[in-house]
Amino acid sequence: MRIGSLLTLSCLLMFSNVSAQSTAPASTASPSDHGDSLLADYFRAETSKLTEQTFAGIKTLDDWTQRRNEYRRQLLEMLCLDPMPPKTDLAATVTGSLEEQGVIVERLHFQSMPGLYVTANFYRPRDQQGPLPAILYVCGHGKEMADGVSLGNKTHYQHHGAWFARNGYVCLTIDTVQLGEIEGIHHGTYREGMWWWNNRGYSSAGVEAYNCIRSLDYLQSRDEVDGDRIGVTGRSGGGAYSWWIAAIDQRIKAAVPVAGITSLKNHVVDGCVEGHCDCMYMVNTYRWDFPMVAALVAPRPLLIANSDKDRIFPLDGVVDVYTKTKQIYSLYDASGKLGLHITEGPHQDTQELRIGAFRWFNRFLKKDDELVEMAAKPLFEKQQLKVFDELPADQRVTTIQESFGETASIGDFTGDTKESSQALRQQISQRCFGGWPDPAEPLDVKVIKSNSGSVNASLIEFTSQTPYRLPIYLFQHAGDNNGPLEIVVLDDAGWDKWSPMLAASFPDQLPAIQPDEKLLAQWQSSSAHKNVAFVAPRGIGPTHWTDNDRERTHIRRRFMLLGQTLAGMQIYDVHRSLQALRDVPQLQWQSLKVSGDQDAAVWALYAALFSDGIDELTLNGLPRRNRDAPDLLNISRIIELPDVVQLASQRIETINAHYDSSEQ
């Protein structure tokens, strides 16, 4: 699937040419150059870690089969399908049919859940003796419009359905959520700024997977279909949906995903994420590389197909997925059921790719190894295949992201027992912060600089997570090493506010910032007899990266692919800074008071759930809903923000929570 331009040169430079950035002299590098280099190092290391742990510990078939059901459950959860939505009446309706060259195509729709319409074409031979093997064809992002009205991408790929019907199959070709006759949204994080999708544990991939499940239900309801011989194929976006349904539903007996999968390295390190919308990705809670998805198809027949010049599914990553998946097929002694079909060409629906898919299905669904002699050609005018004359008023396709999957409500948490609160914290830790390092690295706390006078200014550095050594800017009232300490967590706005003052105290460490001596004097006057520490998590201040909006979007999506979010890792940094402030031997604080505004308020709140020794928490501009807060994987499926405050209150004596007055 191609969205807009392919990888930008700036992205490739930022994330692929790390060695050049890392060795640049400090005097010629801007602060954002340093931040970009750190980020590239981080993404490379985290990706390598996940790649190396794929199938770790799986040496025998028993090793795999004992874990397979849990892996499948995890994938269902990451597709927002655990628990599985209740199966309701499909309300299948045929709105008309056409015939051409011995092929009948029906225009139809069904509802995978009430109001979630799936528009489709059902291809079958005119002359049929008994049930036939069936193909579910899932479409890539081929947009088809006429007079400003969507015809559905099923019309773009009609030649596939026609070929199957002319060669002894029935074929159901379904529209996607985004490019069907009712146009929904695939690009929540990609271009719509809907980061709350992560909070819900939602991806458009999940809806596409569920529509595939219900498509199999529909196929099995048809007399023309042999329900024990169903295959799936599709390319690009349709290749991805082929993976989802083949991995989670055993009714798929053979699969040919085309240009729908590649390695995590390709996506994160090489930048392919910039060419893909959200439907290509599960919410990676359990931190998988993509061979894990492929392995769940084993030992059923699976042909991985791709072209050799596909820039958004690069050949090296496709081969890597195949090679790793082959390990699992070998355990089943089923290597003959796994194939890799590489043809010459770019990211296109080429005839060479089609021929490989047709032969694979003939071989495994029809026991037919004869040569394919017929080309796949469209038989109908695209407008003829449109299902609806008028779109249904009760449709939920355009808003399905608002209701797909279960979510928590404010007030669900009661905190009845210590055990229930502990279980809730554990669930948040596992499902929202599973990307935190375990075990944590040594903090390696260093006091870099100290000034004498009425107020001592010290720069403390610590390792939060390699390569991030982060700063704490500490101001102490003279001679006070064990009084109360106030900790101010800085987000971007907080850094803009306080960094000129910090630069006045730490000019050598913050040379790019214009110091404000007047602001420093005013603050020292108002903060006399106080100990105050300013904390800057990754991406803030000295580790700030690019300001390009598009690149920042795909940075956040890279975190998501690693089973993290940017906010989740910034919360980890705040948590580690609190540990670091207690790790300096000569500093024994009487009490800790933590504060943050807006985004930093959210970071401080969650850090407090997992940090000991906090006596007071002040949260200014705290959002009332997760939807309006920095995104954390799955949090809206577990708890809402006011209940997080209540949960934190069981550990912290005083919480001053001031909610954002601009929210309705």
CA distance 502 to 513: 9
Q: What is the pLDDT of residue 18?
A: 34
**Can you say whether residue 50 is alpha, beta or left, with left for phi > 0 and alpha for psi between -120 and 50 degrees?**
alpha
DSSP H or E stretch at residue 504 = helix 492-505
CA distances to 46, 244, 279, 296, 424 from 250, rounded to whole Å, are 32, 11, 21, 10, 33
Instruction: Report DSSP letters for 215-266, one per residue.
Output: HHHHHHHSTTEEEEEEEEEEETHHHHHHHHHHHH-TTEEEEEEES----HHH
Residues of the chain with pLDDT under 50: 1-29
CA distances to 27, 291, 449, 468 from 508, rounded to whole Å, are 12, 47, 10, 19
CB neighbours (10 Å) of residue 643?
A: 19
Helices 315-331 and 61-78, packing angle to 10 deg: 130
User: pLDDT tens for residues 549-593?
Assistant: 999 999 999 999 999 999 999 999 999 999 999 888 777 888 899
Q: Residue 650's Cα: distance from chain center in Å?
A: 32
- Helices (DSSP H) in 596-655: which residue ranges? 599-609, 641-649
- 191-192-194 Cα angle (round to 5): 120
Q: What is the pLDDT of residue 479?
A: 62
Sign of the CA dihedral with 559 first, then 626, 545, and 473 last: negative
pTM: 0.94
The DSSP output letter for 618 is E
Q: What is the pLDDT of residue 4?
A: 35
Structure-token pair, residue 500: 């000129």
**Strands, E, within 509-609: which ranges?**
531-535, 591-597
What are the φ/ψ torsions at residue 450 (nearest 5 degrees)?
A: -145, 130
Instruction: Report DSSP letters for 102-168, one per residue.
Output: TEEEEEEEEEEETTEEEEEEEEEESS--S-EEEEEEE--S---EETTEE--TTTTTHHHHHHHHHTT
* Residue-level length of the chain: 664
Structure-token pair, residue 572: 């980890």
Q: What is the pLDDT of residue 8?
A: 35
Q: What is the pLDDT of residue 483?
A: 79
What is the arrangement of strands in the sheet containing 252-258, beginning at the earlier edge strand? 93-100, 103-113, 116-125, 170-174, 132-138, 225-235, 252-258, 302-307, 338-343
What is the arrangement of strands in the sheet containing 446-450, beginning at the earlier edge strand? 446-450, 455-465, 468-477, 531-535, 484-489, 591-597, 614-622, 654-659
- Nearest CA-CA partner of 106 in 176, 178, 154: 154
Do 369 and 362 form a contact (C-beta atoms < 8 A)?
yes
User: pLDDT tens for residues 367-406?
Assistant: 999 999 999 999 999 999 999 999 999 999 999 999 999 9
Q: What is the pLDDT of residue 573?
A: 98
Which domains are seen in the chain, by residue range? 62-369+384-402 (3.40.50.1820), 418-659 (3.40.50.1820)
CA distances to 113, 121, 154, 375 from 161, rounded to whole Å, are 25, 8, 9, 12
